[in-house]
Amino acid sequence: METVAAIPKYNLTEEQEKKLILREYRALLRALKPKLKPGDKELVRIAFEMAADAHKTMRRKSGEPYILHPLAVARICVEEIGLGVRSTICSLLHDTVEDTDITLDDIERQFGQEIARIVDGLTKIANVIDVNASQQAENFKKILLTLTDDPRVILIKLSDRLHNMRTLESMKREKQLKIASETVYVYSPLAHRMGLYNIKTEMEDLAMKYMEPDTYKEIARKLAETKRERTRYINEFIRPLRDKMEKADFNFEIHGRPKSIHSIWNKMKKKGVSFEEVYDLFAIRVILNSPHEREKEDCWKVYSMVTDEYTPSPERLRDWLSNPKSNGYEALHTTVMGPQGKWVEVQIRTKRMNEIAEKGVAAHWKYKEGAADESRFDKWFHQIREVLQTADNDSVDFLQDFKTSFLAEEIYVYTPKGDVKMLPVGSTSLDFAFSIHSAVGAHCIGAKVNHKLVPLSHKLRSGDQIEIITSNKQKPSEDWLNFVVTTKAKSKIKDALKEEKRKIAEDGKYTVQRKLESMGAGYNSNNIEILADFYKQPSTLDFFYQIATKGIDLKELKDFHVLGDKLEAPKPPKPINEIRPESGSNVTDYTKKDAELIIFGESSDKIMYNLANCCKPIPGDDVFGFVTTGKGLTIHRTNCPNASKLLANYGHRVVKTKWAKNKEISFLTGLNIIGLDDVGVVNKITNLISGEMKINISALSIEANEGIFRGSIKVFVHDKEELDELVHRLKSLNGIHSVDRFDAELS
């Protein structure tokens, strides 16, 4: 657990502290009241006292008493997710086993096996940071193993993470970046998958606040400025709909709600538009109070009223009533043309659907009818369980696969008999074959999608009907791994390839055995290890396989010595130009706590670094240093497309970095310019860049088409300030519509 802070300046007396803790505890009991059965209150009190006592000497980064964190986590579980008494007890105790003297046995003795098992799932694995595997991914794997037994583990874990995000303020900058990117990389998709939309959006917004603070503040400011006119517009839009629904005697509520800052920013990036051009800054939500048997019918009736009043966009209808998402989400979404020529999204759902949309899994179990109803959630857990049992050891790969397989949106496809299968977006016909059965996948040679023949790598779309064609002669091949996306398909293909390798390696084994015996050396594991090591093979299996496929020919065996039956490898000659690092060199230890690296200052010549190709940072960009194996330090922008993955998986390799002014060095960056094609526009642009601002142009290309010109300019700038100034001045030229930075390559 990261100990994070809620109040940056903390100065309460002991008496005030006690009152604060008691106030929080009472608020928790008030929230729990409807769920308390006889004896429950006593159990919650015991858990609270046990946690308060265990944490009594501990403080958070802000200086406040640690017990406020478990109390806050318990309140999120009860108030925002709708969990009950047992989850409250687990939340209160979730850090005790890891951070204090309390053991799992103590918890089991006091509260029983079920609570001990959940707390065990919440307890982090021992903090041994292995540079090759990601601590976070390992941790996550452990959470998932428990999730499939009891989803409350993941719900409490998400509450814990949400509270840490809400109180991230007083952490150090690099810790903020690490926790925020981990959240966006793993926890918010997981919250989405568990159906907790409110928590997912809050996590994304908070992460953006720390990862891209300037953009976040800018969008928040514009949202605040446009609030009044938005409210006016929403009221105008809702009025005729409210009248119609009241006449039809519906019991309903209807309101507008703003989209999250993170989703607005995503729209701006994806569509390449400015804030002013994002049309759906808000959505209208209709919530009906309908009996269970009339839910669908009522939603469609309201849909019909909305589309009678406003014209819908035909391709923007989303029907999750007939086919709910696998996280239980049900609703009708449509986008209609409202007054003043603005597109507006309307979401229609019932009270029950709304509770499932906000409380996710917890509400889903509340409404589950009969044990025979194996829900989509249960199927999802079952798939995860299957994958975890066969998962490979590489945790980082596992986490990546898990994201694409289980956290992506899903598509619905059909078998020839009309059974529905759910697969992640991007799945191919081969993924579908493996989802039916491992043997069907292994022997698959092609498929018919909607009765047309397609290759194995064909990407499926929702609604496709697929028939798999197999052949007994077919075997999985290495290149299959390049296009399958489901974890099940990947792990089954890897298993089959390993098995195939093992068979071929048997011949190599026999060859080595004969050679060793002819030399008088023993065929034993020790000698085989020495040989595999000498030929730089990662495992003995690879070594035998290379010999069987003639990748290694063993001619160096004559240089080996045999002592008794032991092999001794020849000493490798030293390369003549071997350079030893000087003692006391600065290049060696990047992982020193809080190493302050100044790039392009006095110390820049002492540290090997390079600028990442994926995001091309320039001085003034918000950056972090990342220790790359064999390459020294690589500098990335914090909003680099790879940043979340690096920070989430390898947080311990991140080094704090900042820029020092250095006007001698310039950096290549690019600008895309779009505007109205006008006489002399090129002259205006080049005059501003070269003439007024004295910036060197490396390349310039401009195309005009039907009155619009698109220009691409590569320039050398000293730092971000100079670039921002240039962008600002270009935008203020007459007829220029947009100016966007791109990462330029030297041509």
Residue 68: which residues within 8 A CB-CB, separation 6 or more?
A: 6, 20, 21, 24, 60
Pair of tokens at residue 264? 């607005």
Task: Measure CA 687 to chain center.
Answer: 44
Task: Give the torsion through C-alpha atoms of 527, 532, 533, 534, to 10 deg.
Answer: 90
Amino acid at 618: I
Q: Give the whole-angstrom CA distance, residue 431 versus residue 488.
A: 8
Amino acid at 14: E
Q: 181-213 burial string, b = 16+ CB within 10 Å, else e?
A: bbbbbbbbbbbbbbbbbbbbbbbbbbbbbbbbe
Q: Give the whole-angstrom CA distance, residue 321 versus residue 218.
A: 37
Pair of tokens at residue 547? 């010999």
Instruction: Dump the DSSP string for 379-411.
Output: HHHHHHHHHHHH--S-HHHHHHHHHHHHSS-EE
Burial label, 557 (beta-carbon count in 10 A; 0-12, 13-18, 19+): middle
User: Are the beta carbons of 51 and 92 closer than 8 angstroms?
Assistant: yes
Residue 664: which residues within 8 A CB-CB, separation 6 or more?
A: none
Q: How far is CA 487 from CA 23, 191, 316, in A?
A: 47, 20, 31
**CA 213, 218, 224, 226 torsion-angle sign:** negative
User: Are the beta carbons of 329 and 315 closer than 8 angstroms?
Assistant: no
Of 17, 40, 98, 394, which one is the catalytic site residue? 98
Beta-ladder partners of 608: none
Helices (H), 94-151: 96-99, 104-111, 113-122, 135-147
Residue 331 neighbours by CB distance under 10 Å: 22
Task: Measure CA 478 to chain center.
Answer: 27
Q: Give the whole-angstrom CA distance, residue 534 versus residue 526.
A: 12
Q: Residue 606 carries which DSSP code? A: G
Q: Give the whole-angstrom CA distance, residue 701 versus residue 565.
A: 72
**Helix, strand or coil for residue 69?**
helix
Beta-ladder partners of 35: none
Task: Measure CA 331 to chain center.
Answer: 25
Residue 314: which residues within 8 A CB-CB, separation 6 or more?
A: none
Of 2, 17, 79, 99, which one is the catalytic site residue? 99
- Could you confirm whether 214 is annotated as catalytic? no
Residue 620: which residues within 8 A CB-CB, separation 6 or more?
A: 659, 719, 720, 721, 723, 724
The phi, psi pair for 464, rounded to 5°, reads: -65, 145
- Could you confirm whether 98 is annotated as catalytic? yes
Helices (H), 437-567: 438-442, 487-519, 525-534, 540-548
- Annotated catalytic residues are 98-99
